Amino acid sequence: MVSSLRGRNLSESPIRHLIPYANEAKAQGKHVFHLNIGQPDIQTPESARQAVKNLEQKIIKYGPSDGLPELKGVVANYYSKFNADLDPSNIYVTTGASEAIMFALLACCDNNDELIIPEPFYANYLGFSHLANVKIKPVTTTIENSFALPSIESFEKSITPSTKAILLCNPGNPTGQLYAKSDLIELAKLVKAKNLFLVVDEVYKEFCYDDEFTSVLSLDGIEEHVIVIDSISKVFSSCGARVGFLISKNKSILSSVNKYAQLRLCPPHYGQVLAIECYKNGQAYINSALEEYRLRRTILFEELGKIDDIKYYKPPAAFYNMVELPIEDAEHFCKWLLTDFNYDNQTLMLAPGDGFYYNKALGKSTVRIAYILNQEDLKKAIHCLKLGLLDYQKNH
Amino acid sequence: MVSSLRGRNLSESPIRHLIPYANEAKAQGKHVFHLNIGQPDIQTPESARQAVKNLEQKIIKYGPSDGLPELKGVVANYYSKFNADLDPSNIYVTTGASEAIMFALLACCDNNDELIIPEPFYANYLGFSHLANVKIKPVTTTIENSFALPSIESFEKSITPSTKAILLCNPGNPTGQLYAKSDLIELAKLVKAKNLFLVVDEVYKEFCYDDEFTSVLSLDGIEEHVIVIDSISKVFSSCGARVGFLISKNKSILSSVNKYAQLRLCPPHYGQVLAIECYKNGQAYINSALEEYRLRRTILFEELGKIDDIKYYKPPAAFYNMVELPIEDAEHFCKWLLTDFNYDNQTLMLAPGDGFYYNKALGKSTVRIAYILNQEDLKKAIHCLKLGLLDYQKNH
């Protein structure tokens, strides 16, 4: 008895599929620096964890399918700082951004519809598109061009009668790029002219180190087109709480999302209790996290500068960097780091780059680095990478 | 800009779509007895809520995609009481049974494959089949026959080359039926002969009032075919925690489920902490909940006996009952109860029966009653139903 073809054909997560090798390395007593996954080492806000401890409710009940009203209210308020005028009814609380992505694809696209995404992109867009039977049309961006938003012409060229939406990640995972307001305004015009949805994953919006972030929710005239994905996971270092958001002003989209939301009953209650306190009193926490990541970005940039023959750039936002290595098969290298490499009883785990591409060949020599470790560990990890690369090149 | 056709075509939840009318009734000061949703009023185990309060973890991190190892371990142990010999690797922790159902359908069936389900069935099977592009072939059961498992011949007749699985809910939602071991053994033979998966939603297995429950995980020779869905929601009155399980020994299924699980990263952390304590020390709690529901079942049965011209039966398990009312349009009646009926400033909310049928016409006169209220409220609610019916019949 074999599983469905779609189950067998689904790609493994490039972020997680090497975990068994990492576990094996740990079992052998090696320390593994995890730069593979966007799991910050910063503490979840203490007051939010305390809010969960203080919960006096005696029945952990089903909540509303769209989320707790109090949470929807504080999130609507929070968006005013991004010049977005939201009503709580525009907001659906989801089980992480993951579920919001799935709902967005299901609500925008029918089977075999097309979705345009700049690549490299967050690997799980591929999986959710597969799940939702949506075809990805990638528009390639390059490290030489700092992964900037592709030209309007290149988007236009990818549009067919089956195109239903453009999906962006801004700030970018895995690239760390940040799209300029002027570029987004141009794209908004295209989206309007071609009657497309514009889905933007903005989960990294609080981490912009050089320029200001522009939410597509603040742009005039495309309210009917915009769907925003958000989450507490990264900004409040609460990945395990599984609380995200789907935000839109389009009533038809909201009506469909409502049905998908009812289908899975409700988002997790405890995570929502945590999230309410995060948004109520989180600004100081956000400021301090931003400064910490800014420092880490500098360290990563400096440390990468000590490695020969790699291509990298200084990402303006998020906490990722795509790096091109002087090797042919980054997947093999990442696995080798876990199985064969050892420096002072340490090694590191990276995410092979090809998992972030539709055209796998384009990412063959790249890796994604998440700079989510404290400064000292980050230095050690990149030093490991440098030595690992030298060792690997000698032997392969 | 309109949503996808599939989003627009998805049915609304029969359990939840009347909620706006209930909210309106409450806003007018009416008390609404909720018999529409399987949300028990029994407290979540105190020691489990305390375990969440005691959590000292400073970062609410991503966990493993398959769930916390400790939870998988205690769940594997728990199943020994159902004569199922499980290894933790057979168990995937999911975000409620809802997600487990979705994963099971995706892993068993490709687009346009067929799934046989005895109807009436849990309404969300319809929604998840729609989401997964799987066609439902219903095999109808009737209240006259106590919603017993259909004959092997009727299953056989529904099998086509596209059939991939049979989906059962045992004990039954919305029927409260319990399938006998001998019937399950016969079905197991069919499943084996026809090379089908047998997916069984066993979330109500702790609530059997007359006879013993048989898990399909305890049947010999069909290990490759069986997928079980489970959840803490009902048994531990923890619906809002969103913790469920997908259990199988089929390696191909597990490999596909693993990829879907990685796609959504991990199940909610707090809910898993709650669940660990539930399974560790929950037997006394389960025993006392069982006795409470047994009493409620008796009360419901007695109170329904006071209403003229309805068809009902005494369900052997779960906490639901399908009741046939002497009216033509139960949907209209259920809405009317909320908008127009008032007895002593009280009314009740029921789930219209047609939402639990593939062939909607078959459920037109029925409602699902969830007996999840305390004994006194349950009496009041059914008294309301009696008066509401009389009033409705006079006026329609």
Q: Which residues pair with B348 in a beta bridge?
A: B33
Between A and B, how many CB-CB pairs are < 8 A?
258
Q: Kindly identify which residue of chain B lies nearest to residue A52, measuring between CA atoms.
A: B53
Q: Closest CB to B13: pick one of A41, A44, A263.
A: A263
Question: Which segments within chain A are labelled E, that is strand?
Answer: 31-34, 91-94, 114-119, 135-140, 163-169, 197-201, 226-231, 244-248, 320-324, 346-349, 351-352, 366-370
Is residue A318 pLDDT above 80, yes or no?
A: yes
Q: How do A366-370 and A320-324 pair as beta strands? A: antiparallel
Closest chain A CA to residue B226 = A1
Q: What's the rounded Cα separation, in Å, for the pair B94 and B67? A: 7
Q: Do the chains contact at A1 and B263, CB–CB below 8 Å? A: no
**pLDDT tens track for A277-286:** 999 999 999 9
Reported as a single tens digit per residue, the pLDDT across B295-354 is: 999 999 999 999 999 999 999 999 999 999 999 999 999 999 999 999 999 999 999 999
Q: What is the average per-residue pLDDT within A90-99?
A: 98
Domains assigned to chain B:
5-43+284-395 (3.90.1150.10), 57-282 (3.40.640.10)
Among residues A339, A320, A318, the alpha carbon closest in space to that of A388 is found at: A339
The half-sphere exposure of B373 on its side-chain side, counting CA atoms within 13 A, is 21
SS3 assignment, position B270: helix
Sign of CA pseudo-dihedral B109, B2, A222, A245: negative
Q: What angle do CA B285, B288, B293 make, to 5 degrees?
A: 120
Nearest to B271 among A225, A253, A268 (CB): A268
Tell me the average pLDDT of chain A: 96
Tell me if A52 and B113 make a contact (CB, 8 A cut-off).
Answer: no
Percent of chain A topping pLDDT 90? 95
In B, minimum Cα distance to A129 occurs at B263
Say whether A60 and B13 touch across the interface (CB within 8 A): no
CB B363 within 8 A of CB B174: no
For residue B326 the two structure tokens come to 């002497």
Q: Work out whether strand B114-119 and strand B135-140 pair parallel, antiparallel, or are unpaired.
A: parallel
Among A19, A124, A241, beta carbon nearest to B60: A241
B252 contacts on A by Cβ (under 8 Å): 1-3, 7-8
Place A31 in a pLDDT band, splitting at 50, 70 and 90.
Answer: very high
A242: left (phi over 0), alpha (psi -120 to 50) or beta: left
pLDDT along chain B (396 residues), means of 10: 96 84 95 90 96 97 96 98 98 98 98 98 96 98 95 97 98 97 98 98 98 97 97 97 98 97 97 98 96 96 96 95 96 96 95 95 96 93 97 92
Place of tokens 């304590």: B277
Beta-bridge partners for B117: B138
B contacts of A5 (beta carbons < 8 Å)? 110
Confidence of residue A114 (pLDDT cuts 50, 70, 90): very high
Contact assignment for B37 to A62 by CB distance below 8 Å:
yes
Name the residue with tokens 């995706």: B106
Contact A76, A60 (CB under 8 A): no
pTM of the model: 0.96
Task: State whether A13 and B259 contact (CB < 8 Å).
Answer: yes
Determine the residue of chain B that is closest to A124 in CA distance.
B263
pLDDT single digits (tens) A172-222: 999 999 999 999 999 999 999 999 999 999 999 999 999 999 999 999 999
Inter-chain residue contact B237 with A59, CB threshold 8 Å: yes
Contacts A96 to B, Cβ<8 Å: 264-265
**ipTM for the assembly:** 0.96
Q: Are A127 and B197 a contacting pair at CB < 8 A? A: no
Nearest CA in chain A to B251: A2
Smallest CA–CA distance from A17 into chain B, residue:
B262
Instruction: Name the residue among A72, A73, A74 with its Cα closest to residue A92.
Output: A72
**CB within 8 Å: B107 and A7:** yes
Determine the residue among B18, B263, B273 to mutate to test chain A binding: the one whose Cβ has the most chain A Cβ atoms within 10 Å.
B263
What local confidence, expressed as pLDDT, does residue B300 receive? 96
Is A13 or B339 the better-scoring residue by pLDDT?
B339
A 10 A CB-CB count for B394 gives 7
Query: B67's torsion region: left (phi>0), alpha (psi -120 to 50) or beta?
Result: left
The secondary structure of chain B in percent helix, strand, coil, rounded to multiples of 5, reads 45, 15, 40
